[in-house]
Structure 1
Amino acid sequence: MQFGSIFVETLFGFVTLFVLAKTLGKTQIKQLTAFDFISALILGELVGNALYDKEVGIPDIAFAVLLWGVLLFITEMITQKVKKSRSLLEGSPSIIIHHGKLQREVMKKGKLDMNQLLHLLRSKDVFSVQEVEYAILETDGTVSVLKKSDYQTPKKQDFDLPAEKVVLPFMVINDGEIIQDNLTEMGFDENWLQKELRKQKINSVKEVFYGEYDKNNGLYIQKQAK
């Protein structure tokens, strides 16, 4: 009887959550904001805990899921009707690269470090911050990228130009700290890096927020904000 009860309640919970997800719309799945993430956790807990609680039956599961679904639906309606509530409940996009410059304070506010940012950029086929004119951190945690004109289409093949060797950029300085592994991978050391910094009139690594190197463009530096 116990297995039969778990089976019936699991099946009912699955169907109920599926219907609820279809009713609320695709945004609950595709655009997972912080609020949506909390909603998904709570819905999972409501059904999961109910399955192994002998005193909880199908009517209790149905009531809890239905109640939470109604609250979510009301919240969605509020965000659609009352524009001022959207930033509170759904968050708002943040510009983290503006005119090619990293916005350190905005990144701090969004709890985003350079490694995370580079990962998000690579997911957009961008392997260097030098290619980016604007980057926007969306409410679902993804990044939207507008490349600089030099890196936008049309491509070289559109003009029958010869292909050039592709070079992978390396982050060598992150928030005043040298990335030793990347220096070693490139075949350089700290002495080389210090010489390159002095060429750009920088006396200390601590003055640098972000440093990137590739063979075609050399060392790219963005200083710490004053």
Structure 2
Amino acid sequence: MPELPHWLMIAVRSISFLIILFLLTKWLGKRQISQLSFFEYITGITIGNIAAEVSMGIEQSFSDALIGILVWSAVPFLVGFISLKSKRIRNFVEGEATIFIKDGKVLEDNLKKEKYTIDELMELLRKKDVFNVSDVEFALLEPNGTLNILLKKENQPLTPKVLGLKVAQEKETQTVIMDGKILNQPLSASGHNQGWLRTELEKLGVTLDNVFIGQVDSYGQLTVDLYDDKFQTPSPQEKPLLLATLKKCQADLELFALETGSVTAQNMYTKNASRMQGILDKVTYLLKE
């Protein structure tokens, strides 16, 4: 069998290692590419160097390189598996979080331990939209280098829970149209069918093949982005119409209470008008555009 040309041999080896590294990365899991520990960082560099060296060096043994890559891939997998069982090993391999700020005060010794300057700390805080150290209750440097902070109670943003408001549970937004094609599984997950979707598109005055992406939010409202950016789709009116209907019902109840000559009916209308106002207070911000 004739020997392959030099350039073709390099191409074959490179493609082979690309496929091998891809499969090994899939085997190791998404965590290996999202959060690298010290150990995983070293392993990744070494595997990459082995693959690059053997891809370009024809004289290098392909099988020897493959064994080396498999060993360097298997070790972090085994260490990760053992780390799941032992917190002590996990702390040793992956490291522990370090407290940088506590009760609004910077812990200088911990900064020095992790070799961070105050300028670097302030940069990390600004990335979290925090400009004043005294606003921070707690700040932790995670093993992967991410700074997580907890603001003091008075500096935290208001939430419906703090205000004592009950809100509807948010559902995942479903992408039901992509590149002008209907995606049946997400459409079914949103609780709708193709008939409903085509009706909504007719309301917006757009055709399916002109839709680049279409999504259904947790309220069952369809929004679309079109290939033709100059075309303006009308704003959805379902929520504003519902809000207007509720307000009209509340106003009608108050009007009936004023017009009736029966004390019993007046009390009933007044009581229900008050209940309707309570409902409006809870849902108005949800139904406003």
State whether TM-score is above 0.5: yes
**Counterpart selection for 1:96 from 94, 97, 100:** 100
Partner of 2:55: 51
| Per-residue deviation, residues 56-96 of structure 1 (Å, max 9, x unmatched) | 24323322211111111111112112221112111000111
The structure with more radius of gyration = 2
Higher strand share: 1
Report SS of the residue matched to 1:135. strand
1:9 counterpart = 2:9: no
Partner of 1:197: none
1:132 counterpart = 2:160: no
Check whether the contact 1:9–1:57 (CA below 8 A) recurs between aligned residues. Answer: no
More contact order relative to length (CA 8 Å, sep ≥ 6) = 1
1:76 counterpart = 2:80: yes
Check whether the contact 1:131–1:147 (CA below 8 A) recurs between aligned residues. Answer: yes
Partner of 1:115: 119
CA deviation after TM superposition for structure 1 residue 99, in Å: 1.1
Tell me the number of residue pairs that the alignment of Structure 1 and Structure 2 aligns: 157
Check whether the contact 1:33–1:141 (CA below 8 A) recurs between aligned residues. Answer: no
Check whether the contact 1:96–1:103 (CA below 8 A) recurs between aligned residues. Answer: yes
| Per-residue deviation, residues 107-144 of structure 1 (Å, max 9, x unmatched) | 11111111111111122222221221100000001101
Instruction: Give, as a single letter, the amino acid of the residue that structure 2 aligns with 1:20.
Output: L
**What fraction of aligned residue pairs are identical, expressed as a percent?**
34
Report SS of the residue matched to 1:96. strand
Check whether the contact 2:39–2:76 (CA below 8 A) recurs between aligned residues. Answer: no
Give the alignment of 1:56-67 within 5 angstroms.
56-67=60-71
Report SS of the residue matched to 1:55. coil
CA deviation after TM superposition for structure 1 residue 37, in Å: 1.3
Give the alignment of 1:19-34 within 5 angstroms.
19-34=23-38
| Separation (CA, whole Å) in 2 of partners of 1:122 and 1:8 | 47
Tell which deviates more after alignment, 116-125 or 105-114: 116-125
Partner of 2:150: 146
| Separation (CA, whole Å) in 1 of partners of 2:124 and 2:36 | 16
Higher helix share: 2
| Separation (CA, whole Å) in 2 of partners of 1:112 and 1:53 | 40
Check whether the contact 1:50–1:56 (CA below 8 A) recurs between aligned residues. Answer: yes
| Per-residue deviation, residues 12-53 of structure 1 (Å, max 9, x unmatched) | 111111111111112211112222211111111111111222
Instruction: Give, as a single letter, the amino acid of the residue that structure 2 aligns with 1:78.
Output: I
The root-mean-square deviation of aligned C-alpha atoms, in Å, is 1.8
Q: TM-score, normalised by structure 2?
A: 0.51
Report SS of the residue matched to 1:76. helix
Check whether the contact 2:100–2:111 (CA below 8 A) recurs between aligned residues. Answer: yes
| Per-residue deviation, residues 137-160 of structure 1 (Å, max 9, x unmatched) | 0000110110112221118xx99x
Report SS of the residue matched to 1:111. coil
